[in-house]
Amino acid sequence: MTSIIETIKAKVDVVEEIGLVVALQKSGKSFKGPCPFHNERTPSFYVFGESQTWRCFGCNEGGDVFTFVQMQQSLEFREALLYLAEKAGVAVEDYSSHNRSPEEERESQAAKERLRKLNEDALLWFHQMLLRSKDAAQARAYVQSRGISSESVVTFSLGYAPDRREGLSSYLLGQGYTESELVSGGLARMRDGGIGDSGGTGIGGGIYDYFRHRLIFPIRDTRGRVIGFGGRAFGDAQPKYLNSPQTLLFEKNSVLYAMDMARDASHQTGKAGGDRRRVCRCGHCAPVWDKANGSLHRQRYHGKAHSTTEKTDQTGDTRPGPRCSGSSRNRAWYSRSPKNL
């Protein structure tokens, strides 16, 4: 692993990487700028190209390009490693798979990529349902009642799962995916007869949609890739909140909804010299509403990112925390026809 780290550091210049988020100015042999990690009037943040390191003499933080990416993007080391490896064009194995053979690793990565493509195709279908389907009238009315703008609907790629047993499944099977892939990806469930009642490739006996008659919120990792979905029921239907079951990509209680956007908001706050804070969400709508009104909801909670709806039971259902009240602002977002929303 050390050789991989050194290879990445040789290909990713710390000055260029930090310069993407900090306004650096030449200062002798080094570069200086305002520290992104604390509020200061006089720049005390220095980047040293010769040693490929950085240090802030105001808050005493410092390190190399890995340390900076971890702190600035709120990533674990493994995530920073994968992020920088991709930028450097260096192939790196997951830590969890270091005992696998190269063939097993290739198969694992191929399965993950296939699942990411499946999620993206499902996202597009859910999104188009919300924008265009007559069946989504109640969902659009609910979004309007929560003061969510049409811009936020598009920004967050909100969607709708119609009240059909085989709506999404029918579409995805038609795109060439198998019943097994839909079930393992958390988008469908087996009927009593199990997968394969219709030959594993058709519709009719094997599976039915996991999400039905719900407003859909795509859940992304810190790199913005769709790893699962959250669905909110309407009226008194239960469970009110339903998340994707655990999959190869989605691990329950380890991901906060809209964390990828919250991280970007935190970056902007940090660059402006403000308090870099974590995210607290009150249901799926809170980050969307806050984004629609100019910023993501940020709140310090014992120094950790906290989700008030993060507790899940074995079926993947979430137990909702405190509700977020809607707003009278942005109520007129749906003045256009569904296809133009």
> What is the reported pLDDT for 284?
55
Tell me: do 55 and 156 sit in the same domain.
no
Please, which residues bridge with residue 106 across strands? Answer: none
Tell me: do 30 and 148 sit in the same domain.
no
Q: Which of 92, 123, 144 is the last residue of a domain?
A: 92
Q: Which of 92, 123, 153 is the last residue of a domain?
A: 92
Tell me: do 150 and 8 sit in the same domain.
no
Residue 270: pLDDT over 70: no
Tell me: do 153 and 300 sit in the same domain.
yes
Mean pLDDT of 52-56: 94
pTM more than 0.75? no
Reply yes or no: is the peptide bond before residue 34 cis, omega within 30 of 0: no
114-146 confidence digits (pLDDT tens): 999 999 999 999 999 999 999 999 999 999 998
> What is the reported pLDDT for 132?
95
Establish if 220 belongs to a structural domain.
Answer: yes
Predicted confidence band of residue 227 (pLDDT cuts 50, 70, 90): very high
Mean pLDDT of 296-314: 34
Split into its structural domains, the chain has a count of 2
> What is the reported pLDDT for 259?
52
> What is the reported pLDDT for 319?
35
Tell me: do 223 and 318 sit in the same domain.
yes
Tell me: do 33 and 158 sit in the same domain.
no
Establish if 180 belongs to a structural domain.
Answer: no
Establish if 306 belongs to a structural domain.
Answer: yes
Quote the CA–CA distance of 192 and 207 in Å, as a whole number. 9
Mean pLDDT of 285-307: 41
Cα 185 to Cα 168, 191, 244, 257: the distances in Å are 13, 16, 9, 18
φ/ψ of 321, rounded to 5, equals: -90, -155
Predicted confidence band of residue 285 (pLDDT cuts 50, 70, 90): low
Establish if 117 belongs to a structural domain.
Answer: no
Strand pairing class (306-307; 280-281): parallel
> What is the reported pLDDT for 225?
87
Tell me: do 37 and 150 sit in the same domain.
no
* Sign of the dihedral defined by the CA atoms of residues 171, 172, 177, 180, in that order: negative
CATH assignment at residue 271: 3.90.980
Tell me: do 221 and 81 sit in the same domain.
no
- Count the alpha carbons within 13 Å of 164 in the hemisphere toward its beta carbon: 16
> What is the reported pLDDT for 310?
36
Residue 330: pLDDT over 60: no
Most confidently modeled range among 1-15, 41-55, 105-119, 182-196: 41-55
Residue 81: pLDDT over 60: yes
Rounded to the nearest 10 degrees, what angle do helices 65-73 and 77-88 cross at? 120
> What is the reported pLDDT for 317?
41
Residue 28: pLDDT over 80: yes
Residue with the bigger pLDDT between 39 and 303: it is 39
Domain region containing 305: 136-163+213-340
Tell me: do 325 and 247 sit in the same domain.
yes
Q: What percent of the chain has pLDDT over 90?
A: 46
Among 17-21, 57-61, 171-175, 300-304, the least confident range: 300-304
Tell me: do 77 and 154 sit in the same domain.
no
> What is the reported pLDDT for 198?
37
Tell me: do 85 and 145 sit in the same domain.
no
186-198 confidence digits (pLDDT tens): 999 988 644 433 3
Residue 261: pLDDT over 70: no
> What is the reported pLDDT for 82?
87
> What is the reported pLDDT for 322?
32
The label of the residue with tokens 């010299």 reads 273
Identify whether the C-beta of residue 24 lies closer than 8 Å to the C-beta of residue 36.
no
> What is the reported pLDDT for 252?
67
Sheet holding 62-63, edge to edge: 25-27, 30-33, 45-48, 53-56, 62-63
Residue 223: pLDDT over 90: no
169-184 confidence digits (pLDDT tens): 999 999 999 999 999 9
Residue 337: pLDDT over 90: no
Q: What percent of the chain has pLDDT over 70?
A: 65
Among 70-84, 90-104, 164-178, the least confident range: 90-104
Q: Which of 35, 66, 92 is the last residue of a domain?
A: 92
Establish if 240 belongs to a structural domain.
Answer: yes
Establish if 328 belongs to a structural domain.
Answer: yes
Establish if 118 belongs to a structural domain.
Answer: no
CATH assignment at residue 51: 3.90.580.10
Tell me: do 144 and 266 sit in the same domain.
yes
Widest distance between CA atoms in the chain: 73
Residue 318: pLDDT over 60: no
Question: Which structure tokens are listed for 139?
Answer: 């969902």
Establish if 330 belongs to a structural domain.
Answer: yes
Among 32-41, 64-73, 215-224, 272-281, the least confident range: 272-281
